[in-house]
Every structure is written in structure tokens, then in C-alpha cells.
Structure 1
Amino acid sequence: MNDTITITVAGATIDNTADYRLTVDDGTGFRVVTFDPIDNTANSLTFRVISVADGTDPIKGAVYNLEQTVNGTDWTNLSYKVTSITDKGVVTLTAKSELSTGKPFDSQGTKDKGIAITAATQFTGTVTGVDAVVDVEKLRKGFSGTAPSVKMTFAENELVGNVTETGYVATLAGDFTGIDAIYELGADKAIGGGDDTKLTIADGKATLDKTVTEIPAELNFGFVLPAADKAVALTAPQSISGTLVAKVSTNNLTVATKADASKWTLNGDSEFVEFVPFQDVYARAITVTNNGTVEGEILVELFADGKMVAAKKVGTVAKYGVTDISAAVDALAAENEVTGFAGIRVTTNAPATQIEVSAVYYHKDDKDRVKVN
């Protein structure tokens, strides 16, 4: 008598305003133990034994039934609200028994704990892609070698199936300046296959809103360049991101996202200056010289404390020209509160064989100069 059983719920919560009961029978419907609920919270229920039928063993072969009611008459199985479940996550129930003296019963090992539910993700998706190199020899109006592409897959675990999808939305985001069109490719996965779908491009995003007709689905996207007389410079470096959303009746679900679905790099000049002091006692002189006919934008990346802290376009170097980027680099360091030693990477959108980067720092008082690049 007065022994207790506490049942704890993990991974979910229960209604602590409902009434609960725990009953035990010996398989014939004869109730052998009577429990009195004495405490319940959002994650636990505690019952005290108030009577035991004579000549019975309430442990061996008995079935324990945990039930609840909200109106005092209709008893149902325990219900709970899942708090946070990931794929293959679980909701568990754990029972702890204690004698009236407060001492535990003999341990029942794994019998004290059970899995009430195992979660599974209904919708899944992946985003992969082919990277590309923007060619400065083509004045950045074309790619060198393999053209970029993106593939998305959309699938459903039909064993879950608790919500109904009505379609999906695939989105590619990036700077599509210089791209004439983006297509979801047809069955032959080649641009111009006859059943390609042209995506709508707005504000740097290309969107395909499609009704589900068959699952699993595979989407392949290709990029089309304009005719040579209408071509403009492509943006690089950059990462094209891809997102796949399942449209369902209750709420749209993001099932796939990847920041670098397709990376576009540049086969221009990139030089790293490992050591540049930004203390007030030093001044810096950093220039970019162009010995060729391809004008190039200049991008500076600032590195301090082992990480990149800022990146900014700081100017353009004309053909057969020299551009002083010292003031722009000083301003970038000041904006990001870099006052010690740092490294800078200077990337110029022009052929590497035609670009030279020169970096010098010197002490303002004694005029000692050190060339670091």
C-alpha cells in the first residue's frame, strides 16, 4: 500500500488539466490493483497504490492501462503533443516505481522504458549542382569549359503521409546578370529539348511553381546565355543557392536548401598579401597594374584573426592602367575596426597574366619601407 509509480514523458508534453487513471488486470478483466492519481505535470504522472486484491500478484503477467479523460466519463488512451521531433526522433515513456518508504523496486532494466513513437520525415529533397568558371578572356560574357547546372530532387515517405502535398516551389537565387534565361530541362536534360519550362526571374531569383504529378521528382536546371551581340558581363565570384519547398494544406515546408548549389568562380588574377600592418604609425601603398586590354573590377577581401572579416569592390583598373586602392583598403579596415596586422586578397576580373599587385608599407616617422608583394 502507498507504493507509487511515476511515468515520465520525453520528447512530448501531456495535458496536465486532464484526469488520468492507471488500472491493472490479470488478463480476465479482474482489477487486481487500484491506483490513486496524486500528481501530474506536463511531463509526468504519479499514481499511489491504494488497494491490492487478496491473493494476487500485480506484477507478473498483469497488463497496466494508462488512460485519460477530459469530461470524467469517456476514457481514452494517453495522448500527447510532440514538442520537437526530427527524422528518427522518438517520444519515450519511462516508469519509475518506489515503495512507500521511498526506496525503489528492483530495477527492471529496459522494461522500465519504452518508445511511444518514432518520427520520420515525410518530404525530403536534395540540391546539387555543377560549378562553373566565368572566363575573363571572353570579357566575362561566357563560361570556360563546363557550363553551370543545378539538380533538385523531391521525394515523399509514403509510410508517413500525414499531410497532403499540392505541389512544390523550386527557387534559384543569385545574380543572374548576363543570363538570358533559366530553364527546367525536359526529359532529355538538354537545353532546347522541346518540353523545357522557362523560369520566371525577378529580383535575382528564378522560381518554378509546379504541381506534383509524380513522386519522386527530379528537376534539372540549365542557364542560357544571350546572343553574342547582346551579351553582358556575368557576375563572379558568387554562389547560386537552391531551395525546394513542398506546398501542403497546413503549411509550406522547406525540404531542401543549399547555399552553394552552383559556385561561379573567375579565372582572373587573385593575389594574397599575407602581412599588412594597420597601426596608426604605418602608412600603406597598394596598387593594381593592368598590362593588358581587359578592364577589370577589383575586389578586396580583408583577413584578421584567422578569418575573413570583410569583402568589397574597391574600384576598376583600366586597360594598360594603374589603380591605387590604398585609401579604399584603409577605409575597409577602419569600417571593420581592424587596427593590428591583417592579410588582404586582391582579386581582379582580368587575365592573371596581365595583372600585377604591389603592396608596400612604411613607418611614418622614420620612412622605412617594406615591400610585401
Structure 2
Amino acid sequence: MRFGVEFEESVFTKIFELLKQQEGREVKIDELLRMCMENGIISSDYLFLILQELSLKKIVESSKGIVRIGSISEEVVESTKKKVVDKVSKLKKVFVTPLEIAKFYQCPRRLWLEKIVLSKQEKEKVGKVWDGEAVHLAVKLMIDNMQKEKDENFLILRASEEALKKYEGMVQIEKKVLEDFLRKFLELIREENFSTVYSERTIESLKEGIIGSIDVIGFKDSEVVPIEIKYAAFKGRIKKEHILQAVGESILVSNYFRRKVKYSYIVYFQTNSLIKIELNESLINQFFRLKKQMQGFYSIGRIPPKSKLPNYTKRVCQGCHVKRACDNIEILRRVGRRF
């Protein structure tokens, strides 16, 4: 969670380098967007702001998803950069992640303690948290090396070994279980017929005030599909907070690639379950209502309430990393009532 836009000089440098490589050519917007993604440009809004300025200067022409790029001088680069920076600097938004919205839905106080108060988080030294980290790393290593390594068994074996080695002594997950999961994940990529797959990409929407890391993004034909990986088990009913996170990530992907995201997937590691989330206006509106509500909660300067979800002590408090700080608040409140 943060207020205002944070941008680096390197973002503009990379975008202009990409555009200069295409001077005198026609290029599809989709191709430009993928180039941006592959070069670590977290917000495509910067690209479109730059293209808008270059269009006003008659250096760029666009029609039906195709951009014609003329010669871009250093003088144009500097003047365009200045105008874009001026525009972006005026954005006074609170940026949140889809995960923060999900946590706010779970428990407003927990998120407040984690992100506003910055309370000490007491994470386990061995167990689920690190098992989850190892799973995410293994998936990333596998996807990042898919094009270079054609032997799938070796690809899976190597990704598993490297991930478990990094978190050695911290994880309880078995190597074979991780390998089986990766094998099934690879099958999903094949079945969906993805032509391009990205892993762990951070995306920011200046327009919506959202930033987040997407576990996996798959492309096929005219569709783009975000995939969220959960270490947890699926127990027959999907949790609302998981849906909200998936919706937020879909909004980010849709905004970046200027494509409508029709659905996303949530993959549950412990049960090897695949859940499809159909995106609709109702879910999107719920997400933004919670975002607005969250900003209102934290702007009044009071301690937010605890979770009001059914069975919250088991569902939320049990695995909370700031439980001790929250318990102290409750103790002080009880003491205060006596006087």
C-alpha cells in the first residue's frame, strides 16, 4: 500500500529504446505490450502516455491496433519524458495490491497492523509459509526455462531441486509431491494451448491505483488468462478472499494488455485443484467497493475492527502474523473499560 506514483528513470529509457528499435516500421500494439512486459516495464500506462505525446508531435500514427513509428530524436525523448512525468506526478491515488484487498476483506485490523502500523510479523521458521514460497519459485523456474529446456522431466526435476535447495531447512514439502504438481501444471499449460507464458510479473495500473504480482499469465489466440497459485487445499468451496484477489489480478492484466479478461484460474497445491473464476461486472464492482471502503477506514485514524467473518478465530486469527499485536489491543481495551 502506498500513496502516489513511484516511477524510475529506467522505465522511460526502456520504452524509448523499444520504440527506437521500431523506427520506420509498423508494429502491433499487442507486440509492443509484450515487449514491455518482457523488459520489466510494470505499467503499460507509461507506454500509452508516451505514444499519446508522440502522436501529438506527428511522430507516431496508430490505426486498428497498429502503430507506425517515425524517427525519434533525443530532443523529442526529453520533451516527451518531461510531459509524461508532469502528468503522472499529479496522480494522487492510494495504490493497493489485490492481496491487500483480500486481506482487508478477511480482517481490516490485520491489514492495518501489517501495512499501516508496520507491526512485527511473527512468521514460522519452518512450514507452510516457506512451502508456499518454494512452490512459487519452482513454478517460476520451470516457466522461465521452458523455451530453453525441451526435456520436460529434466525441466521439472531441476526446478524442484533448485527451489527446495533455496529453502532448505525451512520447508516440509516432499520433492516428489512438488514434481507431481509441476507436471500437472505443465499439462494445464498444454491443455490451454498457451502460446506465451509469463511468470511472477509485477503489474501496476496508474488508472485504477492497483499494483500486484501475477503468478502466471498465459496467452492464447485473443485471450489472456491470469493464474493464481495457492499453497492451500481446496475444500469444496472457494473462499471469497481468494476470488477477490483473482479479480484484482485480472483487472491488472486486463489494464496492462488492453484486453478483456474473461476468466482466471486458481490452482490449489495441496489438493491439486483447478478452479475457474468467471469474471463479471458484479465481482469487479465488489473489488472496487472494498478498495474504496479500505481507503475510508484507514483515513479516519482509528483502530479498525477485527474480522467479522464466520469462524474468524480459526479462519483468520490462527495463521495471523500480527496476532500478538492485535491481542494487545484487545487487552488494553478491556483494561480501559474498567476505569
TM-score using structure 2 length: 0.21
Higher relative contact order (CA 8 A, sep 6+): 2
Q: Which has the higher strand share?
A: 1
TM-score using structure 1 length: 0.20
Which of 1 and 2 has greater Rg? 1
